[in-house]
Amino acid sequence: MPPGPPPAEERNYEVGQIAFEAASSAIAQEAKDRLTARYGACSLDKAAVVVALGGDGSMLETIHKVLPCKIPVYGMNRGSVGFLMNTYSEDHLLERLACAQAADLHPLRMHAVTAAGAVEEALAFNEVSLLRQLRQAAKIRILVDGRVRLEELSCDGVLISTPAGSTAYNLSAHGPIVPLSANLLPLTPISSFRPRRWRGALLPSDADVVFEVLEHDKRPTAAVADFTEVRDVVSVAVSEDRTVCVRVLFDPDRGLSERIIAEQFTV
């Protein structure tokens, strides 16, 4: 992979080098207009950095959008949750970008096969989830590195997340929060019916996971990688793709690693 952006102490940006990406909401669009007037406008293909304005969903969309550009992303919260975002301010943006802390994120790559024989691939920086499409529970067999680890999981669904995504849907499904440096991937059931006592697993980041959908004609199941959905899947393979990387920037003392640790003490 080509070298990423320079480390923080060597990072300097100027007016006209920033591309602004905003959610469709009025508050995000207004923020984009004000920041563009103050710091200049730049297209993605010529930008040195991207500033995303919105919530975590907008941040994820921006991350996917800038992957071919290989430039860092700095988010400012103009949405609701904003776990991946920095505090919004129109002042001192160049200085904040210059001293920001960087986190390099690697996605999961989903390889899904549908009942019709189609093959779909997608990347996920948060999680890959399998979800039942109808009223009946999904039945899923789980293999890790070619070995059957769970013969049949009867559930609403199951997901595997990145460390960065462990505080998102994974946490809502009662999965564990994982520090960035742990090199672990949480595997978490969603409303499991059988086996009742299985609460999931922590897998090494180099694990190859395959989900096989049982009785797929009777119990149709969808697979979702971030915001890419594939319906009527029969098998889904998931593994971390270390050849793909995006650099996300955070204000000092509020880096992603610190946020993930702090989230574990939130009451």
pLDDT at 8: 42
Residue type, 212: E
Per-residue pLDDT at 59: 94
Map tokens 């860092």 to a residue. Answer: 72
Q: What is the pLDDT of residues 63-91, one digit of tens each?
A: 999 999 999 999 999 988 788 999 999 99
Closest CA to 57 of 19, 28, 35: 28
Average pLDDT over residues 219-227: 96
- What is the bridge-based pairing of β-strands 184-194 and 147-161? antiparallel
Give the per-residue pLDDT at 46.
92
Share above pLDDT 70 across residues of the chain, in percent, rounded to a whole number: 96
| Residue 138 and residue 151 in contact, taking contact as beta carbons nearer than 8 Å | no
CATH superfamily label, 8-105+245-263: Probable inorganic polyphosphate/atp-NAD kinase; domain 1 (3.40.50.10330)
Binding site per annotation, positions for NAD(+): 56-57, 126-127, 156, 164, 167-172
Q: What is the pTM of this model?
A: 0.89
Instruction: Enumerate the domain spans of the chain.
Output: 8-105+245-263, 108-240
Amino acid 11: pLDDT: 66
Catalytic residues: 56
* pLDDT of residue 10 exceeding 70: no
What average pLDDT score do residues 54-63 get?
94
CATH architecture of the domain formed by 108-240: Sandwich (2.60)
